Amino acid sequence: MKFDRWTRRAALLLGALTVLLSGCTTYVTTQVTAFSDWSGNDATRTYAFTRAADQRNNLELTTYERFVGNELATHAFRQVDASAARYLVGLSYGIRSDMVTVAQPVYYNPWPAPYWGRSFDPWGPWGPYPTAYVNQSYPIFTHLLGVRITERASGKEVYNVTARNSDEESSLVRAMPYLARSALADFPLGNGVVHTVKIPVDKNGGISNEVAATGAAPAAAPASASGAKVVQ
């Protein structure tokens, strides 16, 4: 029957699309906001992490400092003892959960039996046409990392950057490598610059070495200050 040939072709097409889509790159998208008074004329970028008194033996913070330290190293920063450091680096971080409600379509199949629900039916038991919508709620988590750099001798703040992303990941430690890399992806950003960093996830679910940055700076800061591609 012509219908059988049509459904077989449709099934083959859907199968091919599934294979193609499975090879698509997944990205973690992070919004980065920076405030800067960075001179950029220092030949030696030595730093030490600074902590509050109640964070001295915080293993979670130690882990996050390691992520940030790896990214600082890519910008010629070298970690030293606090007494010899030119800069002090402090971290803030957190995670927040919210519920998001979306309308999902309910489908029906206009073809009567015996075709409805048969194994070759590409639409399955729902059919191709939505007849109604139902509200479904699911959790979404917002992850946050702040990096603050001050001059040790004067206490002057010279750089303050915040990275924020949201997805279904409930673990902050899994999100932290993406936050750290995004926060320092285009160091140093200009003052008041806001941009978006997209980092591909590799095939094993880890962080990729690629970084793509896009975003827009306010009128007071030229686009060249950030080094990122500016999108109007």
Q: What is the pLDDT of residue 157?
A: 97
pLDDT in tens, 118-141: 555 555 555 566 667 888 887 889
CA angle 168, 194, 180 (to 5 degrees): 50
Q: What backbone phi and psi angles, to 5 degrees, belong to 225?
A: -65, -30
C-alpha closest to that of 76 among 119, 38, 27: 38
Q: What is the pLDDT of residue 49?
A: 98
Percent of all residues in the chain with a pLDDT value above 70, rounded to a whole number: 65
CA dist 132 → 19, 53, 107 (Å): 30, 57, 7
194 within 8 A of 178, measured Cβ to Cβ: no
More confident residue, 229 or 98: 98
Cis peptide before 188 (omega within 30 of 0): yes
Confidence bin at 112 (pLDDT 50/70/90) = low
CA distance 63 to 102: 36
Q: What is the pLDDT of residue 217?
A: 43
Q: List strands edge to edge, sheet with 193-201.
A: 77-79, 45-49, 87-108, 129-151, 157-167, 26-36, 193-201, 212-216, 229-230
C-alpha closest to that of 182 among 221, 215, 141: 215
Which has the minimum average pLDDT: 11-20, 21-30, 86-95?
Answer: 11-20
| Mean predicted confidence (pLDDT) in 155-164 | 97
Structure pTM? Answer: 0.69
Which has the minimum average pLDDT: 16-20, 53-57, 73-77, 110-114?
Answer: 16-20
Q: What is the pLDDT of residue 134?
A: 81
Burial (CB count <10 Å: 0-12, 13-18, 19+), residue 87: buried
Q: What is the pLDDT of residue 101?
A: 77
| Mean predicted confidence (pLDDT) in 40-67 | 91
Confidence bin at 169 (pLDDT 50/70/90) = confident
More confident residue, 14 or 142: 142
CA distance 76 to 199: 22
Residue 188 has pLDDT above 70, yes or no: yes
Q: Strand, coil or helix: what is 164? A: strand
Q: What backbone phi and psi angles, to 5 degrees, belong to 197?
A: -115, 130
Q: What backbone phi and psi angles, to 5 degrees, belong to 84?
A: -110, 0
Q: Which domains, from first to last, does the chain contain?
A: 25-99+139-222 (3.30.160)
Q: What is the pLDDT of residue 230?
A: 25
pLDDT in tens, 71-102: 999 999 999 999 999 999 999 999 998 877 77
Helix (H) or strand (E) holding 137: strand 129-151
CA distance 65 to 145: 11
Q: What is the pLDDT of residue 98?
A: 85
CA angle 139, 142, 143 (to 5 degrees): 135
Which has the minimum average pLDDT: 3-12, 161-170, 173-182, 196-205?
Answer: 3-12
